[in-house]
Amino acid sequence: MPTSPVWNPQQYGKYADQRGRPFADLLSRVRAESPATVVDLGCGPGNLTATLADRWPEASVHGVDSSAEMIAAAAEVEGGSLTFEVADLREWIQRTPGGSVDVIVSNATLQWLPDQLDLLPSLVERLRPGGWLAIQIPGNHDAPSHEILRELANTAPYAEFAAPNAVRGNLPEPADYLRVLTSAGCEVDAWETTYSHVLQGENAVLEWVKGTGARPVLQSLPEGLRVNFEREYGERLSRAYPRQAFGTVLPFRRVFAVAQKPGEPQSIGVEGATR
């Protein structure tokens, strides 16, 4: 069975500028003017969640992540109306009243949930009339970085440990988000973008994926096998993504969806917000 990885905020934080750009592009399409309650589901180390508090300084901004390590890192930016907690996304849905949130953001998180499309109507239900749901997921599961990872993880002697953690189902396309969210009554903007990230450093693509997609596979391996796997994986990645004089180019496709719930936004001051 797949194992739950222990996330490393420092490894994830490498190339933070490149990782943060899709978040900024996603939020640029959210036109909420004065939300009272904003929630970031899968907030990671909280650095991007903090930008939500900067944009809406009168709002209560709350970050939720299932990783205790990520939330511990988020404590460095916590303060005032910006708060964080360790919680599973499904748990948050179950205990959050319907119609209680103005903006829900989920950036690079829902790809870990095989039933994410089934959860979207529940997220819409948690929005107040006129509220916004903003989603971004990686769409690069067919990229060399992931194809090499799956191939190697299913090769002896690694397969015994790593194969279950290399299985990833098909991820939603923009049309899938459009279909499900419009069926939930929302006005929807769905699109995709492929970024050409220029990464610096030795075997930069390996360093990138060690913080995200490859981490569950690497952590599933005993230490001795992990060292060998990482070396072989890194060698293959360096051939697939050759380093050039200006850096290493990582093409990265991402899928976005921004949905607005029907109805007029409620005029609720911070004093009246649910905290």
Tokens 């769905």, located at residue: 190
User: What's the mean per-residue pLDDT of the chain?
Assistant: 89
Of 226 and 211, the one with more pLDDT:
226
Least confident of 153-157, 184-188, 216-220, 267-271: 267-271
Return the number of other C-beta atoms located less than 10 Å from residue 204's C-beta: 22
Tokens 């299932």, located at residue: 66
Structure tokens at 39: 């929630």
Q: How far apart are CA 210 and CA 148, in angstroms?
A: 13
48 burial class (0-12, 13-18, 19+ CB within 10 angstroms)? buried
pLDDT of residue 10: 52
- For the chain, list the domains and their CATH numbers: 9-272 (3.40.50.150)
DSSP secondary structure letter of residue 271: G
Q: What are 257's strand-pairing partners?
A: 135, 190
Return the number of other C-beta atoms located less than 10 Å from residue 137's C-beta: 23
**pTM for this model (two decimals):** 0.89
Which residue pairs, CB below 8 angstroms and at least 24 apart, start in 176-182?
176/117, 177/117, 177/120, 177/135, 177/255, 177/257, 177/259, 178/257, 180/117, 180/120, 180/121, 181/120, 181/124, 181/133, 181/257, 181/259
pLDDT digits (tens, 9 = 90+) for 85-119: 999 999 999 999 999 999 999 999 999 899 999 99
Q: How far apart are CA 118 and CA 184, in angstroms?
A: 11
202 burial class (0-12, 13-18, 19+ CB within 10 angstroms)? exposed
Q: Which amino acid is at 132?
A: W
Cα distances (angstroms) measured from residue 46 to each of 16, 29, 71: 12, 21, 7
Determine the distance from the C-alpha atom of residue 61 to the mean position of all C-alpha atoms in its chain, rounded to a whole number: 17
pLDDT digits (tens, 9 = 90+) for 39-88: 999 999 999 999 999 999 999 999 999 999 899 999 999 999 999 999 99
**Cβ atoms of residues 7 and 69 within 8 Å:** yes
Q: What is the mean pLDDT of residues 180-209?
A: 95
Return the number of other C-beta atoms located less than 10 Å from residue 68's C-beta: 11
pLDDT digits (tens, 9 = 90+) for 11-37: 544 677 888 999 999 999 999 999 999
